[in-house]
Amino acid sequence: MTLVRLGYVAMSTQLQNASPSQTMTFKQFSQLNDKEAAIGKLERIANSNLHNCLRLLKHNVAHDIKFFRFSSKLIPLANHPELKGWDFINPLSEALEEIGHYIKEHPMRVGFHPDHFVVLNTSDKDVLKNTFRTLDMHRTLLKGMDVSPKHRCVLHVGGAYDDKEKALEQFIHNWGLTPRKLQELVILENDDTIFSASDTLYLCEKLGIPLVFDYHHHLANHQKDWQEDWERIKDTWGNSPLPIKMHISSPRSEKEFKAHAEYVDSKMFINFLHEIKGSVKEIDCMIEAKKKDEALFKLVEDLKKEPYIEWINEGSFSI
DNA sequence: ACGCGTCAAGTACTC
DNA sequence: GAGTACTTGACGCGT
């Protein structure tokens, strides 16, 4: 028997005016002459984002969704190189604590997927430095919520830089330069163009990092069937306090295969569940679809037609 | 209210 | 080396 928990990403298509990703671009920031006022505006935006984030968590709990990815755009320009020295955490501590209290009252799995400029295998010192800074920001946010930072940030391996093998070794090299408190945040995901699940496993096993298996990326980029690697993927989670995590999405079309569809193909998901059934006690599936929570709810509707699924609540079931 | 162009800290590709 | 595309949500402008 396998307990499956469903989650979704960052924002809701159902809850109105609840964006956790409002922003100010660097260009806009640069054009403001009064820097103090500009920073004040950034802080107001960040507080509004956190407020909406809490509203999203409440919306989730109302629908039994206990698995959620936070937006990584909660604090605009938080780690922009030009805004070094801005103490963005202090003005946000109350809002973070409020989110933290809510998570304690309603236990749930939360995490981040930092943006594409967080690149751990870069050979550019400045990019690596900013990667560390951004990871540290994510850690600080989690700490501010009193959530254990362990295994909360999904990253891709990074760029290929014309030589995949060398790029993997560069990751290992940079990992040695990564502070331990940042290492423990990281979990790695197979991507849809360069590093397949097998490639990523190489790093995960060598460095003791859990692998977040993205089924859609796997379909777009693989050397062999995922079933051959499934045991190894599971094992990367052996030392994690959290259950194994996966990403689930469907291709938008044959032509735009790598793009996310609005909804998840429930047949595909059901087939996958049948294959892994019983192989793990618990698995958390992150639904990555354009329609966000609406896609999750639609998937649940579809799954409810399957007689062998035992529902625990609207957001989790056993199979 | 809606459509369209702009913006984004990285990487990849083309010329 | 410069320019463009990728991706995706937000924003601002024009209608």
Domains of chain A, each with CATH number or no CATH: 3-318 (3.20.20.150)
The whole-angstrom separation of Cα A229 and Cα A132 is 30
Nucleotide nearest to A133 (CA to C1'): B9
Report the pLDDT value the prediction gives residue A254, as an integer from 0 to 100: 85
**In this predicted structure, what is the pLDDT of residue A117?**
86
Residue whose CA is minimally distant from B11 C1': A159
**What pLDDT is attached to residue A148?**
97
Closest nucleotide to the alpha carbon of A193, via C1': B12
Query: CA(A138)–C1'(C12) in Å?
Result: 30
Q: What is the pLDDT of residue A97?
A: 97
The pLDDT value recorded for residue A296 is 96
Show which positions of strand B are touched by protein (CB under 7 A). Answer: 7-12
| Confidence at residue A37, expressed as pLDDT on a 0 to 100 scale | 87
Give chain C positions with protein CB within 7 A.
Answer: 7-12
Output the pLDDT for position A32: 83
Q: What is the block-wise mean pLDDT of chain A (319 residues), using blocks of 10 residues?
A: 96 92 88 85 93 96 97 89 85 96 98 92 91 94 96 95 94 96 97 95 97 96 95 97 96 88 95 96 96 95 96 97
Give the pTM: 0.96
Give residues lining strand B (CB < 7 Å).
A 25-27, 76-81, 115-117, 119, 122, 124, 126-127, 130, 134, 158-161, 194
A295 touches strand C (CB under 7 A): no
